[in-house]
Structure 1
Amino acid sequence: MSKYSDIKKVISKNFPGNKIKSIKEFPEGYNNLAYDVRLDNGDYVIKIIKLKGFETYVLKQNKIKILICKKFKNFPIAKIIKSDYTKRVIDKPYTIAEKLKGKSLQKSYKEINNKEEIFEEIGELYGKMHSIKVESYGELDSNLNLIKTYKSWYCENCKKAKEILVKIEENNLLSNRTLKINKDFFKNNKSFLKKEIGPRLCHGDVSLTNILVKKSIGKYVVSGIIDFEFSRASGITQELFSGLREPDRKYKHKESLVKGYLKYNNLPKDWQQLTCLYKWIGSLDRLTKINGMVWRDLNKEQTKERKKHLRKDALRNLRNMRKRLDLLNKSKNL
């Protein structure tokens, strides 16, 4: 069986008579398999859905595109032009979407010569999206109906943090001393969760791999936001600064990000403290998930090294976020 046999079957079914110029797998996908497909009639993204229980969630993208573009006409979201859940062509569901020009910001970052402008533009796009109010917190199904709803952002996130701390204690992922330090830190700072603004329409996975950029007249511009399957009704500060990749590009360019964002939406007064708290919770959660992580392109030894590196990063982030938030609190009280 050839490397791209399933993709070729999808192409043959949906684009009969068209010549294949190239097929490349996107290396940055984690939940599903995505392919960059060039045919003689245009470029497409074919996604094979692997994530069980969420197969139809990718279809939210078209409905979100319509919703946002009613308010902001040229908001850059790719259109899904075909979806097939019958498993008659291949043994998994798949979608075909138009391909937006550009590469991921994660991949292009080092070559970008106007980084502050890019992050200001990203802030504008998220400010626009977050300006859309939703009646309750929760997930969105493929028809944008609210499911798994909850009313209190504070209570839900306190519950989440406490559950993570219990997992860490049960699995001995931190020493008793370090665990106590983190428990005390959360107890002293959890009130910041009450300052969050929401519920608003959120992307749900705003890593730099899901932001596309392209070069235009000597500088880079944002060409699209992709992968809306985890979109939800959530808190805006958590979304704007979420992500655990190192180095933290969004926080590095936070002034430009916030400058663009405030053109279309407000942020809480204590957004910096909230950001630190969210990143602390994210790093804590990462510790509980590292052991179960797998990467299809890594062997056993490489996987072991990757997990070791991720644990080291998570522990460093915990320390850094505690220190950063403590400094912000001290400067606030001066």
Structure 2
Amino acid sequence: MGGGVSSLPAEVSLAEAKELAGAKWQPAWEEKFAEAKISRDEALRCWTEASRGADGPASKGAGPPDERKKKKSATAKALWQKGVAKVGWIAHAKARAAAIERAQRAGISEQLYEKLHGVDRSGVAEALDFSAIIAEKRGQHLPGTREWVFEAVMRWRTDPEAAKLFWLVGGGGTGKSVAAAELLARLLDKENVAAWHFCKHTEPARSAPATLLRSLAGMLCATVDGFEEALREGGGGDNATDKVDELFQALIAEPLQNVGAPRGADDALVLIVDALDELPRDALQPVLSLLATELKTLPPWIKLVVTSRDEAQIKSAMSGYTPSELRVDEARNRQDVRAYLTVLAKEH
């Protein structure tokens, strides 16, 4: 076998399997790996069985050398593929179970998770999975805190005369993303949220404007009846332009306008975009321009919650909206601190 078998990890990737097989690796096995990993023990067993089946007594002396070589190759390939398929299926099932569990900690039901990520919408609109960061941030929320934020959003959501956008602003470390994650879970619980996006400066590719819009559209396919049909009929998913305003119209605004209103402006569905300030620098201005100029094209039963730091570029673009601030020195924040200390005192 190839070197380094004892140092391989518990799960073996395609590259590691090649190392395991060494010079005996057969390219035909590669296509069966897909993205699955198999256990080191299973890889060893598959290779051992493949070698035994290829070199066993039944194969010796059966036909000319070239024919025996072909039979060995076919037998080894079949045994390896069988083992990889079996373990790959198990790995897939385990990964799916872990994803569902993580989604549920984020407040996303299994049924909704399947609608979001279990349907192939590639080439049209594909929803990104933010379950991990949402579950992490929810885990940091202390019950009883930030209630004023949630109550303010609930009043705004059901006020048909309220602004189209609710802007939560605060300095670093004031808990904007924690509040956004908990807010999302509460809205999900009542089926009052349509889509969400959590920006991270460490993952710029996931927050490029086109990726962000396609992800929101993918979520709307799962949460708004008739949206996917309207998107496909309008050809929005085929739009390859790099102009953000045109993408917004094709992927979001026009399909929503062509869907029969599922509710009124006094019971709006909410879109959440967290941490605008963590967008890549080249992506921030186009997204801010959308918020400033294109929100009015959305139907009255859709509203948007955004969070950001108090940055000059964002404040300038969002000057038409009154922010709700998270400040460490304000009375409401001091109340949250008292609630936190009370919980600590009870625990100790």
Do Structure 1 and Structure 2 share a fold, with TM-score over 0.5? no
TM-score range, shorter chain: under 0.3
Based on CA coordinates, which of the two structures has the bigger radius of gyration? 2
Q: Which has the higher strand share?
A: 1
TM-score (norm 1): 0.27
Q: Which has the higher helix share?
A: 2
TM-score (norm 2): 0.26
